Amino acid sequence: MGETIPYTKPSITALEIAYANDAARTGWGAECYAYIERFEAGFARYLGVKYAIATSSCTGALHLGMAAIGLGPGDEVILADTNWVATVSPVVHLGATPVFVDILPDSWCLDPEAVSRAITPRTKAIIATHLYGNMADMEALRALIDAHGLVLIEDAAEALGGRIGDVHAGALGDFGTFSFHGTKTLTTGEGGMFVTNDEALYEKVLTLSNHGRARGQTRQFFPDEVGFKFKMSNIQAALGCAQLERIDELHARKREILARYQEFSARYPMISCNPVQPGCQSGAWMPNFVFDKATGLDRARLIDAFRAAGIDARVFFYPLSATPPFAAQHDDARRQNVNAWDIPERAINLPSFHDMTDAHFARIFGVIDALVQQV
């Protein structure tokens, strides 16, 4: 069987090690924010936005942004039922109510028509998640936002490098958030980023992210309000600076890997791979295969086959309404969110680390070939 093929792992070179060593050696006292500020400025330039704030995670960035827009009890937030819990947890922590709607079968992202039907007088925001690097229909969602006076939140945790036209994922909403978890295209181990072009929103998040101390506050240890501690460390930011210098290389390799899976899946009419919408460039973070129902191949059978071959494939996200924290929405969501409940039952995440070899692909494709031959 050979070595286990991992699900994903970061691409770390001598550059990242050198920057991290420098931060560990010199990044203290007056220099304790040097790499953080450098990372924030470089990330904003890359994305083409005015403001960026490094955070401890994408979840923290979402929490800060939602708190800054005043989200709280009595408010509703619409998001796709297909999401990792990290997207919805800040909504719950702030006392607002999540409303789960269906995804589109051809993008796996938020269905604008389902969003439109779910809007009520209590709706305050919509979260558009670019699932697995696939781009959501931001034009249709922006039209709904403008028509109803809502806030468009962009969860671009999985979509760094993605674009719609010339605009980067994360720069299309009122604010965007990114993840730099060890599984992501660009990593700082753990970490995230809040981005926006709204100066007032930026200042509010900047204050909240610093324990509620406003930037202009001259008194030491004097908070202007109760804030949060979702900061990134200087050493993490040093890793981020090095990765950002390599971002075009990192994303290009992700696109190559996705293209390899798409080329293979095209051999089998019963398998679909990550779709790329017209006018979009995919973030290409995580390739997935979705099998037609007629094959009879389900999640359990797929996982078992890959595990037996020593390949760490993973499940497609379960619908949030199927999980214990959101049991109250279970029955209605199962009836209404047909795609969100159906697609994960017959889909699988595939390995996509940067230094995959032909031998890795051959083993993975061999498992798929064997499965298809059995149906």
Contact yes or no for 172/156 (Cβ under 8 A) = no
> How confident is the model at residue 354, as a pLDDT?
97
Whether the CA torsion 212, 66, 164, 81 is positive or negative: it is: positive
CA gap 251, 131 in Å, rounded: 16
> How confident is the model at residue 283, as a pLDDT?
97
pLDDT tens string, the chain, 375 residues long: the values are: 679 999 999 999 999 999 999 999 999 999 999 999 999 999 999 999 999 999 999 999 999 999 999 999 999 999 999 999 999 999 999 999 999 999 999 999 999 999 999 999 999 999 999 999 999 999 999 999 999 999 999 999 999 999 999 999 999 999 999 999 999 999 999 999 999 999 999 999 999 999 999 998 999 999 999 999 999 999 999 999 999 999 999 999 999 999 999 999 999 999 999 988 889 999 999 999 999 999 999 999 999 999 999 999 999 999 999 999 999 989 998 999 999 999 999 999 999 999 999 999 999 999 999 999 998
Whether the CA torsion 15, 178, 87, 140 is positive or negative: it is: negative
> How confident is the model at residue 276, as a pLDDT?
85
Pairing of strands 97-101, 76-80: parallel
CA gap 160, 157 in Å, rounded: 7
> How confident is the model at residue 235, as a pLDDT?
98
Pairing of strands 163-164, 151-155: unpaired
Edge-first strand order for the sheet with 163-164 is: 167-168, 163-164, 280-281
User: Measured in Å, how far apart are the chain's first and last C-alpha atoms?
Assistant: 24
Which of 125, 123, 78, 85 has the alpha carbon at shortest distance from 103?
Answer: 78
Mutual angle of helices 34-47 and 234-245, in 10-degree steps: 40
Residue with tokens 């506050």: 217
CA gap 185, 283 in Å, rounded: 9
Say how many C-beta atoms besides its own lie within 10 A of residue 68's C-beta. Answer: 23
What domains can you pick out in the chain, each with its CATH number?
14-245 (3.40.640.10), 247-374 (3.90.1150.10)
CA of residue 54 relative to chain centroid, distance: 15
> How confident is the model at residue 62, as a pLDDT?
98
Residue 343 DSSP code? G
DSSP for 18-73 reads HHHHHHHHH-SGGGTTHHHHHHHHHHHHHHT-SEEEEES-HHHHHHHHHHHTT--T
Contact yes or no for 140/112 (Cβ under 8 A) = yes
> How confident is the model at residue 277, as a pLDDT?
84
Contact yes or no for 232/191 (Cβ under 8 A) = yes
CA gap 154, 321 in Å, rounded: 21
**The total number of residues written for the chain in this structure:** 375
> How confident is the model at residue 1, as a pLDDT?
63
